[in-house]
Amino acid sequence: MRRGERSMQDKPVTSVVIAGGGTAGWMAAATLSRNFGPDALKVTLVESAEIGTVGVGEATIPPILQLNAQLGIDEDDLLRRTQGTYKLGIEFVDWGRQGSRYFHPFGSYGADLGGVAFHHHWLRTREGALADYSLNTGAALAGKFDRPTEDPRSVLSKLSYALHFDATLYAALLRERSLEQGVEAVEGRIARVVLDQLSGHVDRLDLADGRTLRADLYIDCTGFRGLLIEQALNTGYEDWSHWLPMDRALAVPTAPAGPPLPYTRSTADAAGWRWRIPLQHRVGNGHVYSSAFTDEAAATEALVAGLDGQMLAAPRALSFTTGRRRKMWNRNVVALGLAGGFVEPLESTSIHLIQRGVVTLMSLFPAGGFVQAEIDCYNRLMQAEMEEVRDFVILHYKQSLRDDTPFWRAVQAMSVPDSLAERMAIFAHCGRLLLGPGELFREPSWVAVMLGQGLVPQGYDPLANGIPESDLRPALQRMRAVIGRGVEALPSHAAFLRERSSAEPGERAG
Q: Which residues are catalytic?
A: 87
Concatenate the DSSP letters of all residues of 6-49 into one string: HHHHHS---EEEEE--HHHHHHHHHHHHHHH-TTT-EEEEEE-T
Within a 10 A sphere around the Cβ of 239, how many other Cβ atoms?
11
Instruction: Give the residue among 287, 337, 286, 282 at the shortest CA–CA distance from 312.
Output: 282
Q: How many residues does the chain have?
A: 510
Helix (H) or strand (E) holding 268: strand 264-269
Q: What is the distance between the alpha carbons of residues 217 and 32, in angstroms, rounded to a whole number? A: 12
Contact 277/59 with Cβ under 8 angstroms? yes
Q: What is the distance between the alpha carbons of residues 38 and 247, in angstroms, rounded to a whole number? A: 41
Within a 10 A sphere around the Cβ of 98, how many other Cβ atoms?
13
Which ranges of 155-285 does DSSP label H, i.e. alpha helix? 167-180
Rounded to 5°, the CA angle 232-233-234 comes to 100
Q: What is the distance between the alpha carbons of residues 186 and 19, in angstroms, rounded to a whole number? A: 10
Instruction: Write a three-state SS string for 453-492.
Output: CCCCCCCCCHHHHHCCHHHHHHHHHHHHHHHHHHHHHCCE
Residue type, 107: G
Contact 87/275 with Cβ under 8 angstroms? no
Q: What is the distance between the alpha carbons of residues 352 and 24, in angstroms, rounded to a whole number? A: 10
